[in-house]
């Protein structure tokens, strides 16, 4: 299952579901980083630093994990360099789009050579913060919370589940991939003693706003929100990334209709 995008010529591109999760989590990292950099760059005169601090469009951010994945596959296949034209053919993105996207970060290609695959892979990884560890806690250890904690691929790209919290006493002490589910009362002490970068919010919609506010009070700056509710958090340096699988289903439905109307 995945999200859909209508490509050139009306074809439908399926974005794998794992990408949807990875894209949203990476968007959180980039947004947190942009919030930080914006402050840090205010008096900076260095051009590269300014590029790092500028807002990158969501469309570019959405493509970064795809670049990373394709480059990883090329590396696995022993490919050392690639032109933007070849990369474009593989990814179904135009070569000029690739150049424009990468120019947001200073560009990495060389005229007449193309891109060094290893270098580009590592640089895109750094841009997405994948060279650093990001500790996640899951609030709401029900079906979705446990599924997220069970999904090992996040760890491979540096996103590590450090704790799970719930209010249901029957879940207390249950272990998910080596982590014991703790009760919500233990959250404050946990945050005091552990570095928490991201909180995944997988509680019912009615509980989500108050839980999210409490997370912000505890100093957590990134919320990966799965509850079907808009979180109106205090205007602080907090980033929220909403993940709504039903939205991507509706997008799929719309794109199916569009495809039908074209044929
Ligand atoms: P679930 O009922 O299995 O799990 C929710 C858990 O949250 C329960 O264990 C419950 O005890 C716990 N909880 C309730 N209030 C809490 C609080 N204040 N603090 C901590 N824990 C609390 O539900 P689920 O199927 O895992 O879904 C979780 C949430 O994710 C729901 O809001 C659901 O609508 C949403 N959801 C979103 C998507 C999506 O695509 N975004 C997909 C599925 C579910």
| pLDDT tens by residue, 46-89 | 333 333 445 778 888 888 988 999 999 999 999 999 988 898 99
Pick from 19-33, 59-73, 88-102, 222-236: least confident:
19-33
Say yes or no: 56 and 173 in one domain. Answer: no
Mutate to test the pocket of ligand 1, among 21, 184, 204, 228 (most ligand atoms within 8 A of CB): 204
Within 10 angstroms of residue 55's Cβ, the number of other Cβ atoms is 11
**183 CB near ligand 1 (under 6 Å):** no
Instruction: Please list the helix, strand and coil fractions of the chain in percent, rounded to the nearest 5, in that order.
Output: 50, 20, 30
**From ligand 1's centre to the CA of 192, what distance in Å?**
24
User: Quick one: 158 exposed, middle or buried, by C-beta within 10 A (0-12, 13-18, 19+)?
Assistant: middle
Distance CA 174, CA 177 (A): 10
Residue 202 Cβ < 6 Å to ligand 1: yes
Ligand 1 pocket member 204 (CB < 6 A) = yes
Q: Verify that 139 and 119 share a domain, yes or no.
A: no
Predicted structure pTM score = 0.79
Distance CA 175, CA 33 (A): 32
Neighbours of 150 (CB within 10 A): 10
Structural domains in the chain (count): 2
Alpha carbon of 205 to ligand 1 centroid (Å) = 7
* Residue 68 and residue 29 share a domain: yes
Q: Do residues 6 and 44 share a domain? A: yes
Share of the chain above pLDDT 90, in %: 49
Q: Is the Cα torsion angle 19, 20, 23, 29 positive or negative in sign?
A: negative
Q: Does 198 lie in the same domain as 140?
A: yes
115 lies in the same domain as 145 = no
My answer on whether 43 and 119 are in the same domain is yes
pLDDT category at 92 given cuts 50, 70, 90 is: confident
Instruction: For residue 73, give the CATH number of its domain.
Output: 1.10.10.10
Same domain, 51 and 98: yes
Q: Could you tell which of 18, 139, 140, 176 is best to mutate to test the pocket of ligand 1, judged by most ligand atoms within 8 Å of the CB?
A: 140
Nearest to 172 by CA among 161, 159, 162, 185: 185
Q: Tell which residue, 145, 200, 136, has the closest CA to residue 176.
A: 145
Does 8 lie in the same domain as 121?
Answer: yes
Mutate to test the pocket of ligand 1, among 184, 226, 229, 247 (most ligand atoms within 8 A of CB): 226
Say if 152 falls within a structural domain: yes
pLDDT in tens, 168-181: 999 999 999 999 99
Q: Is residue 259 in some structural domain?
A: no
Residue 57 lies in a domain: yes
Domain range spanning residue 15?
2-127
Q: What is the pLDDT of residue 154?
A: 86
CATH number of residue 207's parent domain: 3.40.50.720
254, part of any domain? no
**Domain presence at residue 215:** yes
215: Cβ below 6 Å to ligand 1?
A: no
* 166 C-beta closer than 6 A to ligand 1: yes
Q: Look at residue 256 and tell me if it is in a domain.
A: no
């Amino acid at each position: 299952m995945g999200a859909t995008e209508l490509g050139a010529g009306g074809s439908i591109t399926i974005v794998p579901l794992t990408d949807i999760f990875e894209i949203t989590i990476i968007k959180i990292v980039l947004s947190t980083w942009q919030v930080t950099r914006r402050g840090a760059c205010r008096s900076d005169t260095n051009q590269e630093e300014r590029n790092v601090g500028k807002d990158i469009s969501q469309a570019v951010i959405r493509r970064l994990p795809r670049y990373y994945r394709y480059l990883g596959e090329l590396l696995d296949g022993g490919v050392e360099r690639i032109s933007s034209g070849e990369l474009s053919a593989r990814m179904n993105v135009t070569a000029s789009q690739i150049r424009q996207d990468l120019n947001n970060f200073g560009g990495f290609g060389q005229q007449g050579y193309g891109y060094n695959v290893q270098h580009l892979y590592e640089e895109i990884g750094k841009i997405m913060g994948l060279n650093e560890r990001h500790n996640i806690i899951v609030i709401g250890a029900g079906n979705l919370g446990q599924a997220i904690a069970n999904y090992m691929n996040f760890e491979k790209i540096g996103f590590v589940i450090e704790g799970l919290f719930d209010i249901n006493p029957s879940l207390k002490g249950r272990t998910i991939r080596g982590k014991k589910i703790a009760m919500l009362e233990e959250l404050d002490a946990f945050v005091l003693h552990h570095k928490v970068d991201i909180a995944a919010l997988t509680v019912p919609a009615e509980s989500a706003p108050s839980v999210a506010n409490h997370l912000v009070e505890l100093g957590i700056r990134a919320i990966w929100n799965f509850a079907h509710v808009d979180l109106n958090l205090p205007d602080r340096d907090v980033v929220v990334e909403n993940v709504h699988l039903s939205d991507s289903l509706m997008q799929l439905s719309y794109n199916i209709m569009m495809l039908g109307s074209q044929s």
